[in-house]
Amino acid sequence: MDTARRSRARRRTASAVVAAVAAVACAAPAATADDTGDTGRTVTLAGGRGVHLECRGAGSPTVVLVSGTGGAADEWTHVADPAAAAGALKPSASAVLPAVAAYTRVCAYDRPGTSRADDTPTTSTPVRQPTSARDGADDLRAVLAAAGEQGPYVLVGASWGAMITGLYARTHPAEAAGLVTVDGASPHLRDTLTAEQWSDWTGSIASRPKEKGQELPDYPASVAELRAAPPLPRPVPAVVLTSDHPWDLKVGTTGSTWPAWLAAQRRLADELRARHVTRTDSGHGIAVEQPGLVSDAIREVVDRARAG
């Protein structure tokens, strides 16, 4: 599942959602600036692979923003532009990342195979695809270590990104101060979708053309990874944000997947003992459609984490 980008020409229509659903050192700051005037940098991982990272603000816990399929860091610095074509984004001070930077440290990064808001490929070094939640969680930890960022973290995952943050929290619970999911995917979809819907959906992802290292999530492997991981040893502050404008994976002929999506969201909220926000006035891309709602949810979790 894609988040902010699913209605854009390449990935942002409903059909694009189906296709997508799918000792190290810091390098010098890169000479790339986003439209808000802020610059990111490239951090170098073991083996020489580079990953683009953007961090702003100060304070603890640090918030880590993890985008949906194909989404780069600027998915969190842009909002939907109602004055432009459907699905168009524009940089904004009201976007999630700058709003969160007003009250704590916040970071976002370009996973390999993702694209920027203008559809240009990320500068992060490509990796072999498909990729799993384990790959994503390991990469995220390596990026944060290479950048010298300090935990614990409030982990915020949108769509596919929630699979990555969920596994990170289970694998490194001491580093997880809180969780926010933004219409997040979860292993519960394996149970709430019918067997035919699951097969049609994962099959559509597996059969997608592999274009120049473009990100391709492996959901079956990721579900297995999450189910094999230990549960969180203790509850952490958590909020689950769920879209309330129906959307559909549009796979197969067995009917809408929307009820299964909602059922999986309820199970995820129960599992995390999270506050479940179901009135979002948003489709799947909550972060760009309702950024204030997302930044408020993050602030709630940050405040609860600070209170202990």
CATH number for position 199: 3.40.50.1820
The more confident residue out of 164 and 2 is 164
More confident of the two residues 30 and 235: 235
Nearest CA among 80, 83, 69, 37 for reference residue 56: 37
Whether residue 152 is contained in a domain is answered as yes
Q: Which of 119, 116, 110, 120 is nearest to 49 (CA)?
A: 110
Of 157, 66, 162, the closest CA to residue 107 belongs to: 66
Phi, psi of 97 (to 5 degrees): -65, -50
d(CA 109, CA 6): 19
CA distance 232 to 272: 9
- Mean residue pLDDT across the chain: 88
φ and ψ at residue 301, rounded to 5 degrees: -70, -40
- In whole angstroms, give the CA distance from residue 46 to residue 62: 23
- The answer to the question of residue 303 being in a domain is yes
7 lies in a domain?
no
The pLDDT of residue 82? 86
Residue 18 lies in a domain: yes
Instruction: Give the whole-number percent of the chain exceeding pLDDT 90.
Output: 79
**Predicted confidence band at 79 (pLDDT cuts at 50, 70, 90)?**
very high
Report if residue 287 sits inside a domain.
yes
The Cα 244–Cα 152 span in angstroms is 31
* Rounded-to-integer distance, Cα 2 and Cα 18, Å: 9
The one-character DSSP state at 74 is G
**Confidence band, pLDDT 50/70/90 cuts, at residue 212:** confident
Joined together, the tokens standing for residue 202 give 């994962």
Residue 8 lies in a domain: no
pLDDT at 105 over 80: yes
Domain count, the chain: 1
Q: Could you tell me if residue 174 is left (phi over 0), alpha (psi between -120 and 50 degrees) or otherwise beta?
A: alpha
pLDDT band of 86, cuts 50, 70, 90: confident
CB count in 10 Å sphere of residue 14: 13
Task: Let me know if residue 32 belongs to a domain.
Answer: no
Q: Is the pLDDT of residue 14 over 70?
A: no
Q: What is the mean pLDDT of residues 38-58?
A: 91
**What integer is the mean pLDDT of 116-127?**
94
User: 65: domain range?
Assistant: 14-22+39-307
On whether residue 31 sits in a domain, the answer given is no
pLDDT at 222 over 50: yes
Helices (H), 115-194: 133-147, 161-171, 189-192
